[in-house]
Structure 1
């Protein structure tokens, strides 16, 4: 089995349009959640979100691209360009035949769905653009990434709700580790912040109208975000041979299914994924210093996740640092695990633990060290990133310091 290195990272989200800006915001505990700005927002009950500000697609893509790129694909391409540039890989020639792309998204082209439903039902038109299907399909971003960089190996999209990115990255890791691919572009994206996207989530009654406060006793729901996180996972020996700057090592991955309820999380299912990731990485609980929590700010998720972490880590849970960055950038649904992996890389590479901002009142059911409100400097040798999705689908990734 091969070791797997992360040699490139890129992102665009509510905290910034690149990795450096995002990590600075995380260190400073900055909040990117604010009033939503799009058509008919006044008809919504939920009017806040982690929206990408200052985004001008025309500055990055030509007219032909924009006819094919939904907002989630646009975000993916920007993040992928950053990641590939940092990696220094040239996929032309034989390397492109040995590499691929696996990306996660829950909804795909939600903005395209929303716009074209309006065209038909509100505007009364009987025709839509001929590229609507290739623009909105969930695999659009993965396909465009493969075409941009000549990636002719395994390429596909994973859609497992809020665990989509972690599942995608876990599968990419397994492909590189097994030798099925030399390198993989992986991560995920989401762009559901439009009228229809928010209206659908309103129906679940899990959304906050004012703020995301993970683990705080007065939390009242999640806040949606948008954006993308993309990484280059590469065979360690291949990366080392070419002198690549290795950001972190992907050491383990595990997934589980609750097989219990379509929306309510299960402590047992989450715990099995956490423990499985530790085993796969060859880590003991004492080896892990930081866990980036799923931490949505809902009553059900936060207490269930804390119980799962506490049980999986046992006596070592008392010295573990666990935080949720969703209070800063919002819940990116299928793209959330990808952006959150950046917090794990920051902990390992820079010794900075991103805080859980918005924390106001201790909750006895969330009695772990949640790094409240202020980032912390700490030397960390290994970290986990949790993702637990509707449908009871759990995916946990383990990283080690390079």
Structure 2
């Protein structure tokens, strides 16, 4: 019999709020986390894109100064989200053997601020001024290590790096490792802190970012005919997953059941998705098969939907390949319209949104759709929509540069 895995804790720091609850409430209210960047380097480097979706609550309000100095921002955000999720799950020292507590984390880029600041220091001030903590701060596994040491998680501190599919893949890995008996509890999710002049310049150079400098809050507009690119975001999302047996034994609150997920690859192009959506479609189909559910049981999709002209259509093509005409009837939400694109942290935040939709019986809205693209005839949720979630299946999609595809399925309880 397949071991049931459940979600018992949530945590986040995002462009919409400093906690999971603040983020969810702002999402339901139709807020946007995109705003003009106030940093001096925007003008210094004459960046063509002058806005992004930065975290709403400064990390200095959430972490001790000494802790912050030892961590890259990507690890700082991870620690904030991980702490909240662990507390939200109601876990104490008596509830879990450290040898049975696992960290499954993800990032798409890692410690880019640390790396590039250290390079500037080396060039301008010489090697003796490069800080000794530079390497552990810039390592992509830094966030997983920070959470693991904070929570005394000794079953492992694993890291996934697969572009924008990273944290959904980390959720899938957590499910698989819990079912394999590696641990009883897993802290899983992802973080990103790449709102830095170099990533902004690079994404802009490849025409991936929206150029709506005069109207940031309306820049991310998945499925709209006038979409012109994504909005770079930052932050972290964390979920506590447990075996159902362990959760019930300690009387934990259960948000939703995690059914399982799947990972595929397009093997098509370094940045562009396969226009036929075949790899993405296989990820959805494999997820449903491994979860033991039929296509007709899916009642909601949290779409990857970055607001790029090519990507949004490719995802619709994949959904149509899986669900046929029913793809037009399944309520779809594209939450990057509000949060921006958190890259390696996106899947964790969107997995959290999917869990909360099931737990609270409401589908979150997609903002900024003024004229929906006729080539994408989906039932896009544009206002909070009541949802009979008990027993319903919902999926969350994540697709990344390099052709990485990851999809995960949840069920309402």
Q: TM-score, normalised by structure 1?
A: 0.96
Superposed counterparts of 1:170-319, under 5 Å: 170-210=172-212, 211-266=219-274, 267-319=277-329
Q: Distance in 2 between matches of 1:58 and 1:34?
A: 20
Q: Distance in 2 between matches of 1:295 and 1:312?
A: 17
What SS class does the counterpart of residue 364 from structure 1 fall into? coil
Root mean square deviation, CA, Å = 1.5
| 1:213 CA drift (Å) | 0.8
Q: Distance in 1 between matches of 2:406 and 2:29?
A: 28
- Of 368, 388, 395, 1:384 maps to 395
Partner of 1:60: 63
| 1:118 CA drift (Å) | 2.2
Alignment partner of 1:30 is 2:40 = no
Partner of 1:375: 384
Q: Which runs of 5+ in 2 are unaligned?
A: 213-218
Asked if structure 2 preserves the Cα contact closer than 8 Å seen for 1:12 and 1:78, the reply is: yes
Q: Distance in 2 between matches of 1:58 and 1:295?
A: 31
**Alpha carbons of 1:316 and 1:213: their partners in 2 closer, same or farther (altered >3 Å)?**
same
- Of 151, 173, 179, 2:153 maps to 151
Asked if structure 2 preserves the Cα contact closer than 8 Å seen for 1:91 and 1:149, the reply is: no
Partner of 1:349: 359
Q: Distance in 1 between matches of 2:62 and 2:352?
A: 25
Deviations 1:187-206 (A, max 9, x none): 00000011122122222111
Q: Distance in 2 between matches of 1:59 and 1:321?
A: 36
Q: Distance in 2 between matches of 1:280 and 1:54?
A: 38
Asked if structure 1 preserves the Cα contact closer than 8 Å seen for 2:239 and 2:352, the reply is: no
Q: Distance in 1 between matches of 2:298 and 2:317?
A: 17
| 1:125 CA drift (Å) | 3.1
Partner of 2:53: 50
Asked if structure 1 preserves the Cα contact closer than 8 Å seen for 2:62 and 2:80, the reply is: no
| 1:67 CA drift (Å) | 2.8
- Of 375, 385, 410, 1:399 maps to 410
**Alpha carbons of 1:242 and 1:370: their partners in 2 closer, same or farther (altered >3 Å)?**
same
Q: Distance in 1 between matches of 2:122 and 2:48?
A: 25
What SS class does the counterpart of residue 196 from structure 1 fall into? helix
Mean CA deviation greater in 53-62 or 143-152:
53-62
Q: TM-score, normalised by structure 2?
A: 0.94
Partner of 1:118: 120
Q: Distance in 2 between matches of 1:125 and 1:198?
A: 26
Q: Distance in 2 between matches of 1:285 and 1:295?
A: 20
Q: Distance in 2 between matches of 1:114 and 1:39?
A: 16
Q: Distance in 2 between matches of 1:103 and 1:349?
A: 23
Q: Which runs of 5+ in 1 are unaligned?
A: none
Q: Distance in 2 between matches of 1:10 and 1:108?
A: 20
What SS class does the counterpart of residue 162 from structure 1 fall into? coil
| 1:148 CA drift (Å) | 1.1
